Structure 1
């Protein structure tokens, strides 16, 4: 206990590592570091170094563990034997088993397991170097690994711890604060503020718990920003998203313009057809007018010829031509009507003679 500091917070309100009580440690994230995993993430948070990997969804064995309506999310937390100064025994322990259980339940509200009935999604979080807050660092890394694996999720999950040193609440404990502090309150929550993990080690009053949850909420907001920045750096940038939105808007505008042009073309075609239909009767009227004029001309020409012929007939015969025409027409009609009868009589006589 000789290495315990006399004060964790100095007179200026600064902690041992120079942070204020409501500040988190620097965090760096790198995604897609394992080629054989479906999704992976490497996270450094202060002196913590965590590697998370996701495998699945895949078939679950043994089959008796399968869930007919949803997938099973298996979370395994482990600290490497070389992750701490005093080498620990490799393999699972009671502590790692307990952390694996509660950390896996932190993803229950966000992972959309109903899309993979009977399958399993394995999440492995390996602590390579420990420096207090390893379970919260593992949850933050596992969230990004799940996204990298393409697992459908309702949102991100961020985790941060609140502790008590020198009678004051502090955010994101470092190793001395975690080892010698009065309390430790790790919390995980969604972007909507829903708490998915809450544990406590030590003694805190009800007011201190309420204040600690609010401090953890602000810390998770900073972690959400870091997670989203990491996702944008892996899958795209904000500029590309803006360009994509502009392209979609331009496509919608172009589509609307094409539709308006099609409407104009259709309207012009219809108007042309209507105009053509209106013009057709006028053309018929013109034809009828021309036919009438031709008939008038023919009638006028016939009357003139008849007049000339009647004058010549009067000079030759000295009689009224109109009576002659009527008489002649009547005789011609009688002759024409009598010709078939005469023809038939001649044929009858010929048959009799034969």
Structure 2
């Protein structure tokens, strides 16, 4: 029996969202000064920071490919994070975190134009800051923005979302209580082409429902891409404005010296 009321009589979820309503989305670029690119994404009460280092010389040269870059992904959880598995602390060697890291790597390997960076390594570090469901899709969205911030060439944005099924009703962007009670599908897609780069399930789902849930997830990814694009455009505008101000200050300063 469910620990929460998935849908009440008004058709609303426990957090008052409608079935197809996404959680609040916020994203920020360049949140790790030491990284080549970074981003923090918050979806609902789940927050993830992704940092990109590279392309750089591989730490393990024996495993380096001569014709492309290798992608290395590590996932960790900050000590104060809540909601990541029965209240226990998780380390980088934790099986669940290794699975998330492998899913992220498999999601991005076909999307990154790795042939442009031969004999190099692109390292991605993911830190879960807070967790209330949707860790994997939130991490994928954060990695997308971090790669863009690092200037890594990709085929398209990768957006991801979770889709659950309550009886015959599909629900988008699940919270932790919903994830624990419902069959869940995580969809990662390239919104421009509609191609799916990730479809992960950890519970059983009737095949008749799978196609509808997958399509719903791909449609939701287009909405998330628009949110991420808005962040990138705002960040680019801010950078251009700072460069313009710096250029004007330089011209004025140079003029004073000439006088």
Please, what TM-score do these two structures have when normalized by structure 2? Answer: 0.86
Q: Is the 8 A contact 1:59 1:118 kept in 2?
A: yes
CA distance in 2, matches of 1:116, 1:212: 36
Q: Is the 8 A contact 2:7 2:14 kept in 1?
A: yes
**Higher gyration radius (CA):** 1
* CA distance in 2: counterparts of 1:34 and 1:76, whole angstroms: 16
Contact 1:165 1:177 in 2 (8 A): no
- C-alpha distance in structure 2 between counterparts of 1:121 and 1:91, whole Å: 18
Q: Which has the higher strand share?
A: 2
Q: Deviations over 1:121-170 (max 9, x none)?
A: 00111101111110110000000000000011111000001112244221
Aligned-partner SS, 2:108: coil
Which residues in structure 2 correspond to 1:35-50 (within 5 Å)?
35-50=33-48
Aligned to 1:61: 59
Match of 1:80 among 66, 78, 81: 78
CA distance in 1, matches of 2:228, 2:114: 22
Q: Is the 8 A contact 2:196 2:218 kept in 1?
A: no
CA distance in 2: counterparts of 1:219 and 1:79, whole angstroms = 27
Alpha-carbon displacement from aligned partner over 1:51-108 (angstroms, at most 9, x marks no partner): 1100000000221011000000112222234322513243321111122112111112
Distance 1:97 1:51 in 2: 17
Contact 1:52 1:124 survives alignment (8 Å): yes
Give the whole-Å Cα distance in 1 for the aligned partners of 2:60 and 2:181: 44
Deviation, 1:236, is: 2.5
Query: Structure 1 residues 81, 165: CA separation in 2 closer, same or farther (over 3 Å shift)?
Result: farther
Partner of residue 187, structure 2: 187
Q: Does residue 203 of the first structure (1) align with residue 204 of the second (2)?
A: yes
Distance 1:229 1:41, change over 3 A: same
**C-alpha contact (below 8 Å) 2:76/2:90 kept by paired residues:** no
Who is 2:169 aligned against?
168
Question: What residue number does 1:286 align with?
Answer: none
Structure 1 distance, partners of 2:109, 2:26, is 26
Question: Cα RMSD over matched residues?
Answer: 1.7
Who is 1:212 aligned against?
213
1:120 has 2:121 as partner: yes
- Structure with greater proportional helix content: 1
Partner of 1:19: 17
Within 1, Cα distance between the matches of 2:203 and 2:163? 11
Give the paired residue count: 235
Q: 1:89 to 1:147 in 2, by over 3 A?
A: closer
TM-score normalized by the length of structure 1 = 0.64
Q: 1:56 to 1:236 in 2, by over 3 A?
A: same
**What is the distance in 1 between the residues matched to 2:96 and 2:180?**
16
The structure, 1 or 2, with the larger RCO (C-alpha pairs under 8 Å, 6+ apart) is 2
CA contact (8 A) 2:188 2:199 kept: yes
| In 2, Cα distance between equivalents of 1:33 and 1:89 | 23
What secondary structure does 2:210 align onto? helix
Q: Tell me the residue number matched to 1:309.
A: none
Counterpart secondary structure, 2:156: coil
Using the alignment, how far apart are the partners of 1:102 and 1:142 within structure 2? Answer: 12
SS class of match (2:215):
helix
Instruction: For structure 1, list consecutive stretches of 5 or more residues without a partner in the other structure.
Output: 241-354
- Tell me the CA shift for residue 43 of structure 1: 1.1
CA-to-aligned-CA distance 1:187-240 (integer Å, 9 cap, x gap):
101121111111112221122100100110121011000010000001128xx9
**For the structure 1 residues 186 and 179, does the alpha-carbon distance in structure 2 shift closer, same or farther, using more than 3 Å as the test?**
same
